[in-house]
Structure 1
């Protein structure tokens, strides 16, 4: 009798857990779904908040209009370049420094490790940062997108902790066989730390892809504008234009323009374009993500 009662209670608990997580998943997915259906629905209905669950008047004009933005191709190339190059450099530097900080024979290991970590807690502020970047000739320079982000204290901590969980006997055996520092790093350590590398790749790639404040402060050359910055500018301009059209009495032509694009349709289309690439990349690294964070965060 007790066994039957226990099995029944376990089943009820499992059902409740499934219901909870299904509901939680739907809550997480719905904002993306809401954005998408509003970008492909009638712009006039969307601007009035009448599109909530089912798209109406389906069209893809919003995406076609956004893709016609002048300089969008160049901006996409700059963003893709900074994401790929910046992420690769950040991951390599984090992996190599994290590895070095585990080597007891490293000169001044504790000092340099603390020197790097302390930058997580102290920030000079925007003006000193801008003056430093200007003195380093990193204004209107593509290197401004990748150099400052190469050293990431948080990523170094994750890699260092992860490596400390690997048996030292592996490295010692390689040293006995005559392997040097770089051989051990590339042939022994790197293959074993793929989960944490995938984790910091996600962190770095998302940060690089979404960043536009460095463009706002450091770049005036339109050839170096990032995708997010161009879309941000267009968003502001489109919002102003939509408001102007709405309040004007210019006639039929203006009304047609307002029906084709509104501030709401532009805002949501821009948001989808920014999010879509990350949504495609993230699942590829998902299988390593949880394992990398858990092992890299807690030793042992």
Structure 2
């Protein structure tokens, strides 16, 4: 007991003041980061005429949710949501599996040309053919106006492979040796022994990929002209640029109902921008809490060997 008491750190007034100062600073920084999202939400559910004047800053005014009902009536939005969800789910699954397999294989001394293939993969992080050659390649491969242009070019990600490779190298070699003694092949060792123990780093890779996939809109801008393949982010880009005309179209589509509606719920350029932005941003915000407990451990173990 005496030893425990001696080893216990006694907090001084300076320690308490330092901790309180840290908490205060981090609280302020957290509020600064969270306020833009909060601002979008309160403006999307406030009276549209008041929000359009910029008078909604801290608390919503005359709360209503008709903006969200009207937003899902915007042309192409439900289908774009399905496309975005599909590309995010498929690409994340393929990237995680490929990163896990390649990261594991690049740690195997028996792999033919291991050093060459690893360096050949990593060098692609530093060099790019450029937009026009890449577009020509995609067109020749038949990937323009094709859903798989959202998935296939993403599968091999050198940065993720580096993280997984470093993570695997930090795992005990005895795991593989025990499997080999039991007669397990290399794929059995990967799927039955290593893959279940890669959860932290694979969760990190999944977060990186899901966020990048959900937020991507340039590939739609470059490779897609078929409106059935538009993503939410690309529609958000269009809606922000055409918010005024969309608001007028929504009012005209309402007919007599639109003429009788309260000004607080009539669509404006501002209401369309904020509402669609919230619809696009919220899903990816909810993903973080699911993987947060793996994130720090995964990124640290995947970045530092030892």
The two structures share one fold, judged by TM-score above 0.5: yes
State the alpha-carbon separation in 2 of the partners of residues 258 and 127 from structure 1.
47
Deviation at 1:268, TM superposition (A): 1.3
Q: Could you say which residue in structure 1 is the equivalent of 2:201? A: 196
CA contact (8 A) 1:242 1:258 kept: no
Query: 106, 109, 120: which is aligned to 1:104?
Result: 109
Q: Could you say which residue in structure 1 is the equivalent of 2:63? A: 58
Query: 69, 73, 76: which is aligned to 2:78?
Result: 73
Q: Tell me how many residue pairs correspond in the alignment.
A: 290
Deviation at 1:137, TM superposition (A): 0.6
- Is 1:22 paired with 2:27? yes
CA contact (8 A) 1:75 1:226 kept: yes
Q: Could you say which residue in structure 2 is the equivalent of 1:264? A: 270
SS in 2 for 1:23: helix
State the alpha-carbon separation in 2 of the partners of residues 54 and 76 from structure 1.
29
- Is 1:157 paired with 2:162? yes
- Is 1:169 paired with 2:174? yes
Deviation at 1:87, TM superposition (A): 0.6
CA contact (8 A) 2:66 2:265 kept: no
User: What TM-score do the two structures reach when normalised by structure 1?
Assistant: 0.91
SS in 2 for 1:175: helix
What do the CA deviations read for 1:106-163 (whole angstroms, capped 9, x no partner)?
1111111111111111111111110110011101111111000000000000000000
Deviation at 1:270, TM superposition (A): 1.5
SS in 1 for 2:110: coil
Deviation at 1:227, TM superposition (A): 2.0
Q: Which shows bigger deviation, 75-84 or 194-203?
A: 75-84
Q: Could you say which residue in structure 2 is the equivalent of 1:293? A: 299
Query: 273, 288, 306: which is aligned to 1:282?
Result: 288
**Residues 211/6 of structure 1: CA separation in 2 closer, same or farther (3 Å cut):** closer
- Is 1:205 paired with 2:200? no
Structure 2: tracts of 5 or more residues without a match: 1-9, 251-257
**Residues 254/8 of structure 1: CA separation in 2 closer, same or farther (3 Å cut):** same
Q: Which shows bigger deviation, 214-223 or 104-113?
A: 214-223
**Residues 254/229 of structure 1: CA separation in 2 closer, same or farther (3 Å cut):** farther
State the alpha-carbon separation in 1 of the partners of residues 264 and 132 from structure 2.
41
State the alpha-carbon separation in 2 of the partners of residues 19 and 104 from structure 1.
51
CA contact (8 A) 1:63 1:269 kept: yes
Deviation at 1:253, TM superposition (A): 4.8
| RMSD over aligned Cα atoms | 2.2
State the alpha-carbon separation in 2 of the partners of residues 21 and 100 from structure 1.
41
SS in 2 for 1:260: coil
User: What TM-score do the two structures reach when normalised by structure 2?
Assistant: 0.89
Deviation at 1:239, TM superposition (A): 3.0
State the alpha-carbon separation in 2 of the partners of residues 125 and 202 from structure 1.
27
Deviation at 1:282, TM superposition (A): 1.2
State the alpha-carbon separation in 2 of the partners of residues 145 and 155 from structure 1.
18
